[in-house]
Amino acid sequence: MASLIDLLIDDLNNEDTGYNKLLDLSNDKTSAIVKGDVDELQKIFLQEQKLIEELETVEQKRQEDVKEICSILRLPYEQIRVEHIVQILEKKPKEHDALEEVYLRLKRTLNQLTTVNDNNKRVAILGNIRRKIKKQYHFMQESTDKFKNEELILRDYLAIERTKLANVRTLFSYIRTSLYLLTAGIGIFQIESISRLDGLAWVCVATGVILFILGFIRYFQMGKQLKGYVKQSHCD
pLDDT, one tens digit per residue, over 55-92 is: 889 888 888 888 888 888 888 877 788 888 888 888 88
Better-predicted residue by pLDDT, 38 or 232: 38
For position 101, what pLDDT does the model report?
92
pTM metric for this prediction: 0.51
Q: What is the pLDDT of residue 24?
A: 92
Has residue 147 got a pLDDT over 60? Answer: no
In this structure, the answer to whether residues 152 and 129 fall within a common structural domain is no
The C-alpha R_g of the chain, in whole angstroms, comes to 46
CATH of the domain at 124: 1.20.58.300
Co-location of 11 and 124 in the same domain: yes
Q: Is residue 78 in some structural domain?
A: yes
- For residue 141, tell me if it sits in a domain: no
Residue 140 lies in a domain: no
Q: Are 64 and 159 in the same domain?
A: no
For the chain, the domain total comes to 2
* Distance in angstroms (rounded) separating the CA atoms of residues 113 and 27: 9
Looking at the structure, tell me whether residues 121 and 155 fall in a common domain.
Answer: no
Are 109 and 207 contained in the same domain?
no
Judgement on whether residues 197 and 98 belong to the same structural domain of the protein: no
- Measured between alpha carbons, how far is residue 236 from residues 77, 149, 228 in Å? 89, 12, 12
Q: Are residues 120 and 154 in the same domain?
A: no
105 and 210 housed in the same domain = no
Does position 205 have pLDDT exceeding 90, yes or no?
Answer: no
What is the per-residue pLDDT for 175? 86
**Residues 228 and 154 reside in one and the same domain:** yes
Note the pLDDT of residue 108. Answer: 92
Task: Determine, yes or no, domain membership for 96.
Answer: yes
Which among 10, 17, 15, 16 is positioned nearest to 99, based on CA atoms? 10
| 61, part of any domain | yes
| Structural domain includes residue 160 | yes
Same domain membership, residue 205 and residue 98: no
Q: pLDDT tens digit string along 160-195? A: 667 777 777 887 888 888 888 888 888 887 776 666
- Domain membership of residue 186 (yes or no) is yes
Please check whether residues 121 and 165 belong to one and the same domain. Answer: no
pLDDT of residue 136: 52
**Residue range of the domain that includes 211:** 148-235
Q: Among 83, 103, 133, identify where a domain stops.
A: 133
Amino acid at 35: K
Listed in sequence order, the residues at least 6 apart from 63 whose beta carbon sits closer than 8 Å to its beta carbon are none
Greatest mean pLDDT among 12-16, 36-40, 129-133, 171-175 lies in 12-16
Residues 81 and 165 placed together within one structural domain of the fold: no
